[in-house]
Chain A
């Protein structure tokens, strides 16, 4: 398992994506097929079932190393990771057995069928044949907690380079419920699959942020629709089956089963671009509800009952099997409308309705109220523009951010290089007579602000909790954010998207800061 452990360690090092891809390629070029398959499974989150608890391993390691409980605890506090602490305290191995990754996973599976005593002596024996660097990853395997520091998207890039396929093809291959027990490296990665090509999305048209709306020229030449915060995606229907791709390259067909019935109503050879929106019955939910759904591996009935996803169609990229991207937006939109008028209303597919406007100032008014409609802002596209990977055809005009006035209550010192400055701040709003924290940020503060605040924090610290200092409530800041939603994990009951400091209200008394009720009202209106 040396090669696999080396790979996991290289992926875990704080290097850039290029070094990680190089490490993956090096491994895939030399490892046996079985190990490659298991590595792909592990790195895409398909870890074998946990057969021992971390606490059992901890107890065995303490006994094996001849330590005391408290000494292990002191060590754990320094290391910060239980598997790593165990790997480090074990006595040096008496031999080195270099078996394949597949061998160890098979061993783990076999151990799962044995009683605890047998399992314990087998594991102690395995540890005695492994250097610490391998033990660490082996323990992660045992506890089902192997998460090498890489994303699935890096793995996909590496496999694409390795096999000369494109990334959507690899994404498609890795999707779904497979395990190394049900497939082979060849079948999963290399074998030809006619559905592969059919499932391919088009490159998404890039967007630009509007800075000065008048630069766009004649308002009559532009179409405006709402810009939705939920995932931008392509719905692809070809060869009788469908696929749903998000803009970040994830295949989310199985995460949005609501869209499967579209197959029965749309003609084959259709590609619709749109955004997902979440609803609970008729009530719209925030972008967070969409993300909560599409980032899950498995979708349960309960999740479907809780939120329903709807595709808000923006564009038509393929019509009757032919590529429509060279046609103008007006033409594409006409075909899209035809599709939507000929499908039943109860389908989870709606047209992103046009925002009517006569002038830019007219549109500015609409932008101001976009958040009330649940949108992040407006999407502007030139009526004669093709769907191209060009930067000047698709513009997002963000609605003004939501803002509250909040009181600074905690400050935290920066990482090593900025340890002399406080760089993370926690802000609170009034909840009756007490201040309830609701967000933490440093974005938006200038270096001069940070220096001034740090000096002030040092003089006004009430108490310390590790690196965090509680300060006398004195300063009021205006905090801006893009979205607010309910979050039972937070004391305030709300979580913000992209919070940042808009300004420091040096003249504002803390009594004039906003209240938790104000935040809850915002959540009810915009969340």
Chain B
């Protein structure tokens, strides 16, 4: 039987339905797992995404992008392929894409995490023959901090800084991580200020009915010193730029990422603190997710593909690596 999905220079391709999943170059028809810029790229003639992923994708790609929507679990016929989208738990609206051709079922995971962040639709295992899995954190050194401990760590850090009259500047990606942190911290500790890029995403998500605590956007008119001891959510880029300087020297800086599990990465970031929080699956999460699909064939992409493939092969899977033009591998 022909493969349901193939790996091309433009991205994951389905010949039966003549569409691409998360294509990297302009194509006619793109099925998009979620709104992060390495998955939802501009230049496609038509997009298909989940209803809850669409607002952010539209916001990022502009009003001219043609985006059809689909509900989670709804099936749609495209050519000879039947597709459906299933929660990936990565960010609000993020999906795994199930493609079935003549009874053969393949699932492209996009990015996913198996723990419930209280914000994204929780991950659901989708039974399939072949599973295309990310493995950003596909080594046994990555085991995420439990939610309650993480919340305590961040809240303690913020409260201590506030008591000492310091701002707490926390770096996080604008879509997903920032909102997850917003729902993790205790907003009673003090005011929360946000960088413009984060606030823009907050507005989009609030408009689609997601509840986030009150935030104050940092604008040129705002005097940040009117909000002493505030928690400031910043994009990683903004922290390094003059934007970060307006809070003065009396700040404590931190970064929230799965990479903060590694001491070397924490030191390289040169932040005061690193919180281990990721929207990707950790080692246990990856292994459980793959097992629960019941797939015999697994494709590893994005991350420690070499080590992870070998591990899967030794566990008895028919495991292969998907070559990507991921700049991180270059």
Contact = CB atoms under 8 A, between A and B. Distances in A.
Interface stretch (A74-82, A311-319, A397-405, A511-519): A74-82
B304 A74 contact: yes
B263 A84 contact: yes
Contact of A80 (B139, B264, B306): B264
Interface string B258-297: 0001111011111111000000000000000000000000
Interface string A119-137: 0000000000001100010
Contacts of B268: 415-416
B262 A78 contact: yes
B272 A15 contact: yes
B156 to A, nearest CB: 10
The majority secondary structure among interface residues of chain B is helix
Contacts of A131: 149
Contacts of A67: 140
A82 to B, nearest CB: 12
B311 interface: yes
Given A79-B141, A89-B140, A74 B272 contact: no
Contacts of A417: 240
Contacts of A65: 140
Given A71-B311, A74-B304, A14 B266 contact: yes
Nearest to A22: B164
A75 B272 contact: no
Nearest to B156: A6
A96 B314 CA distance: 33
Contacts of A132: 143
Given A14-B270, A14-B271, A68-B314, A75 B262 contact: no
B163 to A, nearest CB: 12
Nearest to B311: A71
A68 B312 CA distance: 12
A75 B137 CA distance: 11
Contacts of B304: 74, 78
A71 B264 contact: no
B36 interface: no
B8 interface: no
A72 B283 CA distance: 13
Interface residues of A, number: 28
A235 to B, nearest CB: 40
B310 to A, nearest CB: 7
Q: Which of B139, B140, B261, B273 has the most CB of A within 10 A?
A: B140
A190 interface: no
B264 A74 contact: no
Query: In the complex, which range does the number of interface residues on chain B fall in?
Result: 20 to 34
Interface string A1-16: 0000000000011110
Contacts of A68: 311, 314
A85 B240 CA distance: 30
Contacts of A261: none
Nearest to A12: B263
B139 A92 contact: no
B77 interface: no
Contacts of B6: none
Contacts of B273: 13
Contacts of A415: 268
Contacts of B149: 131
Nearest to B307: A74
A88 interface: yes
Interface string B81-110: 000000000000000000000000000000
Interface string B304-322: 1011001100100000000
A67 B304 CA distance: 16
B272 A19 contact: yes
A500 B269 CA distance: 28
A483 B80 CA distance: 77
A465 interface: no
Interface string A163-181: 0000000000000000000
B139 A74 contact: yes
B67 to A, nearest CB: 35
Interface in A25-71: 65, 67-68, 70-71
B141 A78 contact: yes
Nearest to B146: A92
Nearest to A72: B140
26 contacts: A13-B266, A13-B272, A13-B273, A14-B266, A14-B267, A15-B272, A68-B311, A70-B310, A71-B139, A71-B310, A71-B311, A72-B140, A74-B304, A75-B140, A75-B307, A78-B262, A79-B141, A79-B263, A81-B264, A84-B262, A84-B263, A89-B140, A136-B263, A415-B268, A416-B268, A417-B240
Interface of A: 12-15, 19, 65, 67-68, 70-72, 74-75, 78-81, 84-85, 88-89, 92, 131-132, 136, 415-417
Interface of B: 139-143, 149, 240, 261-264, 266-273, 304, 306-307, 310-311, 314
A-B pairs, 6 with minimum CB distance: A88-B141, A74-B307, A89-B140, A75-B141, A14-B270, A75-B139
Given A75-B141, A88-B142, 7 more contacts: A13-B272, A14-B267, A14-B269, A65-B140, A68-B311, A72-B140, A89-B141
